[in-house]
Chains A and B, each alone.
Chain A
């Protein structure tokens, strides 16, 4: 036997075959780790932005729409970021699996680890405001981004369905005031019989949400006036007067 060994050694000598340099393998290994780290960071950012969007959303507005909570919940989830999260978790898993020791871990261990790390990092990015800034940056830089995200402002900029939000810019009298909505359109609001949340004072610069009925191109009858920011632990009719 042994003729194959001799043949190969001859071939190596005759054809001057040399081992590939170590740096090529190191570069490949580093690239795998770099892509893994980038995927984990983007996955974490996705979680951060998801938390930011969920916290910022108005989950109680379904009661003013012709929808149940479940339907409202399903149509309001930030699917763009959920899809990004899934893509980058899969990419991180794939990269980790291709590191030198990646095969030693079971797939669910890698996925669990990747999701846990992304969740902790994502929570930190949310806490330090990076997630909010990333969302804001994308919103300004990518026009189509806003169309793919469901926000509290989108829910409340819906006058034809009786929901409006904006800033009071002029108080005409006890019965009406002028409002600049979130798209900078000006409205005359009639609030004669409106229930007002106990924290609401009709004064300039107050940010409010209104439930009512559109009566003209820029006229709106208010039934209920609430502060823009939800009052933690304060909700229900007893808060209105």
Chain B
């Protein structure tokens, strides 16, 4: 546990350099990301908790095995999110299934406030109703738009980070995000959800 104390105050990138010398520092990195990535996997997929845990384990192993390929000009966070995103897609392919339902159930109200204010809608909604509606709306949005919304509003990533995670040009991310907000808005109208 000595290493855990040594990790305090260090950036992810500094920990990457340390773990190349001592594998115990990897525990700090994993601990930093375990909950975040678990939530991210559950948000962008319809996997059960056990399946999401399997994916997360694969992600952590993959990150460790490929740590020499980490590009220090990127944020470590973007890199690990990218690997997670790819791993979820690969898991879907193996299962030959497409994501359907999402776990957006906790602490999402601030997120929704921000999203709603950005698409010029006034928020006047019962929070239980919001909770039920949110999954339904996102379920009906195309995957590429859904993921960019999740990264921006749920994972709080900026354009550059989203670009690095999805491996798309920043301009494309901006376009995707604008379209995603439009789709979100029209899906709200389509489903007759009153805000």
Q: Is the CB of A19 within 8 A of B67?
A: yes
Interface residue from B30, B68, B71, B163 paired with A8 (Cβ < 8 Å): B30
Of A47-55, A101-109, A160-168, A174-182, the stretch lying at the interface with chain B is A101-109
Interface residue from A6, A24, A104 paired with B27 (Cβ < 8 Å): A6
Q: Is the CB of A20 within 8 A of B169?
A: no
- A11 within 8 A of partner (CB): yes
- Bitwise, B37-74 to A at CB < 8 A (1) or not (0) is 01000000000000001001100110011111101000
A106 cross-chain contacts in B, Cβ below 8 A: 169, 171-172
CA distance A8 to B57 in the complex (A): 7
Q: Is the CB of B60 within 8 A of A19?
A: no
B67 cross-chain contacts in A, Cβ below 8 A: 19
- A185 within 8 A of partner (CB): no
Q: Is the CB of B65 within 8 A of A19?
A: yes
Taking CB atoms and an 8 Å cut-off, the chain B residues in 74-122 that contact chain A are none
Q: Is the CB of B69 within 8 A of A25?
A: yes
B168 cross-chain contacts in A, Cβ below 8 A: 103
A9 cross-chain contacts in B, Cβ below 8 A: 23-24, 26-27, 30
Q: Is the CB of B26 within 8 A of A12?
A: yes
CA distance A1 to B61 in the complex (A): 18
Q: Is the CB of B34 within 8 A of A2?
A: yes
Q: Is the CB of A100 within 8 A of B34?
A: no
Chain B nearest CB from A101 CB (Å) reads 8
Q: Is the CB of A5 within 8 A of B65?
A: no
State whether A13 and B23 are in contact (beta carbons under 8 Å apart), knowing that A2-B31, A5-B60 are contacts in the complex. yes
**Is the interface on chain A under 10, 10 to 19, 20 to 34, or 35 or more residues?**
20 to 34
Chain B nearest CB from A11 CB (Å) reads 7
- A141 within 8 A of partner (CB): no
Interface residue from B20, B27, B169, B170 paired with A5 (Cβ < 8 Å): B27
Q: Is the CB of B61 within 8 A of A19?
A: no
- Bitwise, B5-27 to A at CB < 8 A (1) or not (0) is 00000000000000010011011
Which has the most chain B C-beta neighbours within 10 Å: A7, A12, A13, A100? A12
- B35 within 8 A of partner (CB): yes
Q: Is the CB of A103 within 8 A of B68?
A: no
State whether A4 and B30 are in contact (beta carbons under 8 Å apart), knowing that A12-B64, A20-B65, A104-B163 are contacts in the complex. yes
- B167 within 8 A of partner (CB): yes
Which has the most chain A C-beta neighbours within 10 Å: B31, B67, B169? B169
Instruction: Work out how many contacts link A and B, with CB atoms closer than 8 A.
Output: 69
- A143 within 8 A of partner (CB): no
- A21 within 8 A of partner (CB): yes
Nearest residue in B to A100 (C-beta to C-beta)?
B71
CA distance A100 to B167 in the complex (A): 10
A22 cross-chain contacts in B, Cβ below 8 A: 68-69
B68 cross-chain contacts in A, Cβ below 8 A: 19-22, 24-25
Q: Is the CB of B35 within 8 A of A1?
A: yes
Nearest residue in B to A19 (C-beta to C-beta)?
B67
A11 cross-chain contacts in B, Cβ below 8 A: 61
B38 cross-chain contacts in A, Cβ below 8 A: 1, 4
Interface residue from A5, A13, A18, A25 paired with B30 (Cβ < 8 Å): A5
CA distance A104 to B165 in the complex (A): 11
Q: Is the CB of B57 within 8 A of A105?
A: no
CA distance A2 to B32 in the complex (A): 9
B35 cross-chain contacts in A, Cβ below 8 A: 1
- A74 within 8 A of partner (CB): no
- Bitwise, A58-79 to B at CB < 8 A (1) or not (0) is 0000000000000000000000
CB-CB nearest 9 A-B residue pairs: A5-B30, A103-B167, A22-B68, A25-B69, A8-B60, A19-B67, A106-B169, A9-B27, A5-B31
- Would you give 25 A-B contacts (Cβ < 8 Å), ordered by A? A1-B34, A1-B38, A2-B31, A4-B34, A4-B56, A4-B60, A5-B27, A5-B60, A6-B27, A7-B57, A8-B57, A9-B23, A12-B64, A13-B23, A17-B61, A17-B64, A19-B68, A20-B68, A20-B69, A25-B66, A100-B71, A103-B163, A103-B167, A106-B169, A106-B171
